[in-house]
Amino acid sequence: MPRYALLVEYDGGPFAGWQRQAGSPTVQGALEAALARLEAGVPAVAAAGRTDAGVHALGQVAQADLGRAWDAFRLSEALNHHLRPDPVAIRAAARAPEGWHARFSATERRYLFRLLNRRAPPALSRGKVWHVPRPLDVDAIRDGAAHLVGRHDFTTFRASECQADSPVRTLDALDIERVETAEGPEIRFHVRARSFLHSQVRSFVGTLERVGAGAWAPGDVKRALEARDRAACGPVCPPQGLYLAGVGYPADPFAAAAP
């Protein structure tokens, strides 16, 4: 049974997350429904990560096991046809290497968080950014973020319902930039690790917003981390603004795919 890698983009606003749920629209459900239009009996798809309700993706990676060999370009075109009108798009498809798995073969996940830092609420980017009207100190945010990079016990920054066996993770990067856009200044958080805990990125951003607002000192982030206590975390920011930006593999399965 040939396995295909799918590079998936979606607007998470209308969905209850990636994972299929009875009675709720999900990205997995939309993709599996499109696949069922191509072949009967397609097994459940797997993805590199399960995004929560309202979280978007620029570069989610999923796998689909199909009964016959498809031309990769024709497969992506057919899926995009059947995915309409859902806000889900297959950016590329490729025949997966032997033994490849969308989740277990991944070596890193990259997330982007967009915070719109202006007085007026967003109109064009509503649902795509977290709007914070008060001025934020980006240098203080960077100082606070520096305490989170590296290998740590992230109990403070994971949701109480997180099912991971261990709270220990290695955060490879947490880079913050201020970008002037046509809509106003954005503070963008670029986060990279092999794997993440449930709500870890949103817990980071919500806490660091408090640092930028002056309610926390940068050193308070270190104290919260060392507390290893969920109660020590700052507010968890909303899902709007969070994007699964990309997934890394030892070899890019889409390297030969058409742009």
Residue 163's pLDDT is 83
**3-class SS of residue 235:** coil
Q: Please, is 11 exposed, middle or buried when counting C-beta atoms within 10 Å of its C-beta (0-12, 13-18, 19+)?
A: middle
Taking the domains of the chain in order of start, what are their residue ranges? Answer: 3-105, 108-245
Pairing between β-strand 108-116 and β-strand 130-131 as defined by DSSP bridges? parallel
State the catalytic residue, choosing from 52, 65, 137, 153: 52
Helix (H) or strand (E) holding 61, with range, is strand 56-65
Residue 155's pLDDT is 97
pTM of the complete model? 0.96
Residue 160's pLDDT is 87
Q: Give the count of beta carbons closer than 10 Å to the beta carbon of residue 22.
A: 6
Mean pLDDT within 184-191:
98
The band of 57, judged by pLDDT with boundaries at 50, 70 and 90, is very high
**Quick check: 92 and 3 in contact, CB under 8 A?**
no
**7 pLDDT exceeds 80?**
yes
Residue 234's pLDDT is 97
Q: Is the peptide bond before 85 cis (omega within 30 degrees of 0)?
A: yes
**pLDDT tens across 124-173, in order?**
999 999 999 999 999 999 999 999 999 999 999 999 888 899 999 999 99
Provide the terminal-to-terminal Cα distance of the chain, rounded to the nearest Å.
26
**256 pLDDT exceeds 80?**
no
**pLDDT tens across 79-95, in order?**
999 999 999 999 999 99
23 φψ region: left (φ > 0), alpha (ψ -120 to 50), beta (else): left
Q: Please, is 63 exposed, middle or buried when counting C-beta atoms within 10 Å of its C-beta (0-12, 13-18, 19+)?
A: buried
Is-same-fold flag (3-105; 108-245)? yes
Residue 258's pLDDT is 57
Residue 24's pLDDT is 96
Angle at 188 between CA 187 and CA 192, to 5 degrees: 150
The band of 259, judged by pLDDT with boundaries at 50, 70 and 90, is low
CATH topology of domain 108-245: Alpha-Beta Plaits (3.30.70)
Partner residues linked to 177 by β-bridges: 188
Pairing between β-strand 168-181 and β-strand 184-193 as defined by DSSP bridges? antiparallel
**Quick check: 63 and 3 in contact, CB under 8 A?**
yes
At 155, phi and psi to the nearest 5? -55, -40
Determine whether 52 is an active site residue. yes
33 vs 30: CA distance, rounded Å: 5
Calculate what percentage of the chain has a pLDDT beyond 90.
96
CATH number for region 3-105 = 3.30.70.580
Mean pLDDT in the chain?
A: 96
**257 pLDDT exceeds 80?**
no
**pLDDT tens across 97-128, in order?**
999 999 999 999 999 999 999 999 999 999 99
